[in-house]
Amino acid sequence: MAWHLTIDREACSGHGLCYGEAPDVIDSDDQGDPVILEDPVPEGELEAAQRAVQMCPEQALTLSED
């Protein structure tokens, strides 16, 4: 099974906490909006991705398994 991060762009306010929690999985684009760098989330980055989801004050990140 693979894990995938998704961003609700309407909910995201650009706080940037996710970048700090999972810098190898999430980064910002030129406008400061988050972008997913790795899809699916690498096994070694799963805990960091989970922390990013938990830290998002807008609950704009979702981690799902397929």
- What per-residue confidence (pLDDT) applies to 42? 98
Phi and psi torsions of 49, nearest 5° = -65, -40
Domain map of the chain by residue range?
Answer: 3-65
> Is the pLDDT reported for residue 25 higher than 90?
yes
Strands (DSSP E) found in the chain: 3-7, 26-28, 34-36, 61-65
- What per-residue confidence (pLDDT) applies to 27? 96
Say yes or no: domain 3-65 is CATH 3.20.20.70.
no
Of the CA atoms within 13 Å of residue 14, those in its CB half-sphere come to 6
The pTM is what?
0.91
- DSSP letter (8 states) at residue 41: P
Instruction: Share the mean pLDDT of the chain.
Output: 96
> Is the pLDDT reported for residue 13 higher than 90?
yes
- What per-residue confidence (pLDDT) applies to 29? 93
> Is the pLDDT reported for residue 63 higher than 90?
yes
Instruction: Using alpha carbons, select from 45, 63, 65 the residue that is nearest to residue 8.
Output: 63
- What per-residue confidence (pLDDT) applies to 32? 87
